[in-house]
Amino acid sequence: MCRSIKTLRREDEPATQDEIEAAALQFVRKVSGYRQPSKRNAEAFEAAVGEVAAASRRLLEAVGATPASEGVS
């Protein structure tokens, strides 16, 4: 587990979009082994970050840990 990813399911304060995106970035960095991808891999890297962030937001919404997004994907 990537120790720099913090728990986003909190009762006291919902996760922000910035926190969700930061966690997604850390996850993709860990899985890919890239801190910064090459130009050749940048598009795939950024797409993966977006997909992980979107899936994370859906999960947090489903378990009631963050307000439903309003046009945010």
Q: Which is higher by pLDDT, 56 or 8?
A: 56
d(CA 44, CA 64): 30
Does the pLDDT at position 1 exceed 70?
no
Query: Total structural domains in the chain?
Result: 1
**Mean pLDDT, to the nearest integer, of 13-42?**
93
On whether residue 68 sits in a domain, the answer given is: no
Is 48 domain-assigned? yes
What is the C-alpha separation between 2 and 50, in angstroms, rounded? 18
Asked if the structure places residue 46 within a domain, the reply is yes
Return the pLDDT at 67.
67
Residue type, position 47, single letter: A
Q: How many CB atoms lie within 10 A of CB 30?
A: 15
Is 8 within the bounds of a domain? no
Looking at the domain assignment, is residue 25 inside a domain?
no
Binned at pLDDT 50, 70 and 90, residue 28 comes out as: very high
Residue 72 lies in a domain: no
What residues make up the domain containing 56? 35-63
pTM > 0.75: yes or no? yes
Collapsed DSSP state (helix, strand, coil) of residue 57: helix
